[in-house]
């Protein structure tokens, strides 16, 4: 079984984009990171993409700006790597993300711009939603709140020191939260810790 864990950093909150100073800038993915686990090996991939505009709110969270992303990407855009990305996602039996609906909507739009269809309806798995009834964090109106990725990791005993060690091993970098690589590794480690402890997860992730 092949499981793909991924995260994105984006130019804003919506792929519809931002209207700034009389110009409409498309919402774009500026970083995509994923891990592909086939049960025998773990392959790490990371892409930066040159973009037209990054909302100041997004920059405040990620530290990414248009010039920084342009340098990190070497000027490459999403379309330059879309064939490889599409192949990796298509070959995965299960695709995992934290707040999957957010990342998926950006992926759908980016893929569509390149002429590809992106559909996770049969194989998407959201850690934020799936672990809500397990963590049981108090919310409003007697409901449990969705856990943040940090809350999910903390629940399963994954701290930043563990994440950094694994980032060095997989991506050969050391980055803080809100780098797609950091968040992908953190999510992956939390899921691995949860699999033997939560009923039914071994079957979901092919670890029987």
pLDDT at 178: 76
Total domains in the chain come to 1
Does 208 score more than 80 pLDDT? no
pLDDT category at 140 given cuts 50, 70, 90 is confident
User: Please, what sign has the CA dihedral across residues 107, 112, 113, 115?
Assistant: positive
Asked whether the beta carbons of 97 and 6 are under 8 A apart, the reply is yes
133-142, 157-166, 196-205: the lowest-pLDDT one: 133-142
Measured between alpha carbons, how far is 21 from 23 in angstroms, rounded to an integer? 6
Asked whether the beta carbons of 159 and 182 are under 8 A apart, the reply is no
Does 51 score more than 80 pLDDT? yes
Extended beta strands in the chain, E state: 3-10, 18-20, 23-25, 29-37, 42-48, 94-97, 124-126
pLDDT category at 40 given cuts 50, 70, 90 is very high
pLDDT at 28: 98
pLDDT category at 174 given cuts 50, 70, 90 is confident
Mean pLDDT score, 150-166: 97
Measured between alpha carbons, how far is 8 from 171 in angstroms, rounded to an integer? 15
pLDDT at 96: 99
pLDDT at 18: 82
**What is the secondary structure of 69-101 as a DSSP string?**
HHHHHTT--HHHHHHHHHHHHHH-SEEEETTHH
Asked whether the beta carbons of 194 and 131 are under 8 A apart, the reply is yes
pLDDT category at 41 given cuts 50, 70, 90 is very high
Q: Which domain holds residue 98?
A: 3-204
Mean pLDDT (the chain, rounded): 96
Mean pLDDT score, 126-144: 93
CATH code for the domain of 11? 3.30.420.10
Share of the chain above pLDDT 70, in %: 100
Asked whether the beta carbons of 206 and 93 are under 8 A apart, the reply is yes
Mention every residue, 6+ apart, whose C-beta is less than 8 A from residue 194: 131, 134, 156, 201
């Amino acid at each position: 079984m092949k499981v793909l864990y991924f995260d994105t950093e984006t130019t804003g909150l919506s792929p519809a984009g931002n209207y700034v100073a009389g110009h409409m800038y498309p919402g774009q993915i500026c970083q995509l990171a994923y891990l592909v686990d086939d049960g025998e090996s773990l392959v790490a991939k990371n892409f930066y993409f040159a973009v037209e505009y990054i909302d100041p709110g997004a920059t405040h969270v990620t530290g990414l700006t248009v010039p920084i992303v342009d340098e990190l990407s070497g000027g490459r855009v999403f379309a330059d790597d879309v064939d490889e990305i599409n192949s990796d996602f298509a070959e995965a039996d299960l695709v995992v993300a934290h707040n999957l609906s957010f990342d998926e909507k950006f992926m759908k739009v980016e893929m569509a711009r390149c002429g590809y269809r992106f559909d996770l309806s049969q194989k998407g798995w959201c850690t934020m939603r799936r672990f809500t009834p397990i963590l049981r964090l108090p919310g409003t109106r007697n409901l449990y709140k969705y856990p943040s990725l940090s809350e999910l990791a903390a629940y399963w005993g994954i701290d930043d020191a563990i994440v950094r060690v694994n980032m060095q091993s997989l991506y050969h970098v050391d980055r803080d939260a809100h780098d797609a690589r950091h968040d992908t590794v953190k999510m992956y480690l939390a899921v691995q810790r949860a699999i033997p402890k939560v009923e039914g997860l071994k079957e979901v992730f092919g670890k029987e």
